[in-house]
Structure 1
Amino acid sequence: MFIKLLLIFTLVPIADLALLIEIGRQIGLWPTIAIVLITGVAGSALLRWQGLGTIAKFKRELAEGRFPGNTIIEGIAIIVGGAFLLTPGVMTDAVGILLLLPPTRAVFIAIVKRYIKRKFDIDEFITVADEPPPRDEPLDPNLRIEP
């Protein structure tokens, strides 16, 4: 796992830098800088908009008594997308913006869910009872409590 992370954190920035250099070579320095700045500003606005919407959805689901499992994964995708946007580079900005757009974020969420289900061999994320059991009834019907 350490080797994979090391490769990701070294190869991705190198590839991003190489792409940035090539774009700069093709269109020039100032247009390249403009692209990086524009994607950063647009991504930040998108991050704010999507983040606030997800927070509102999270609060609404909690108020309705539902577990916000999908919304939590959406929030994680938005945070990861924001982190990619903070990393300078065209490739990471593209990935960040893709994680902030609802249709592509839905694909990411489906992939994460499939991975979690396979990794932990589960069918459902969580099952929540509509209401808690009565206080005078033990959870285990065979359990006897002596006074």
Structure 2
Amino acid sequence: MKKWIIAALIILPLIEFWGIMQVSSWLGGWQTFGLIVLFSMAGAYLTLAEGRKVWTEAQLQLQQGQIPGRKLLEGLCVLAGGLLLLIPGFFTDLIGITFLLPFTRSFYQQIMLHWLEKRIREGSFSIRKF
């Protein structure tokens, strides 16, 4: 797992830099900068809106005596999308937006749910108290 994280920390900035350079050569430096700022602002708004919606629905489920398991996964997707939008670049912005949109978020939720189920079945999933 650590190898994947280290590889991502090295490769991701290189890909983002390459993408920014490509867009900059097509549009110009200031337009590219403006586009990055615009994506970040739109992403921040979308993160807040979706985060509030998920939080409200999770609270409603708790009030009804239900465990908001899927809503927690939705909340993790919104968090991941918001974090990806903080990274300057176009590729992470596109992936981050897919984490935030409700109709694509369900895809990530299914992946997370299958991962969790597999870990629980194998007995390799544990919750640690810090």
Query: What TM-score do the two structures reach when normalised by structure 2?
Result: 0.89
Shift of 1:3: 1.2
Shift of 1:43: 0.5
* Aligned-partner SS, 2:19: helix
Partner of 1:16: 16
The structure with higher relative contact order (CA 8 Å, sep 6+) is 2
More helix, by proportion: 2
Superposition RMSD on alpha carbons, in Å? 1.1
Partner of 1:50: 50
List structure 1 runs of 4+ shifted beyond 4 angstroms.
none
Shift of 1:4: 1.1
Shift of 1:118: 2.2
Partner of 2:103: 103
Aligned ranges for residues 1-147 of structure 1 at < 5 Å?
1-121=1-121
Partner of 1:131: none
Query: What TM-score do the two structures reach when normalised by structure 1?
Result: 0.79
Q: Percent identity?
A: 25
Structure 1 unaligned runs (5+)? 123-147
> In the alignment, residue 68 of structure 1 is paired with which amino acid?
P
Shift of 1:10: 1.3
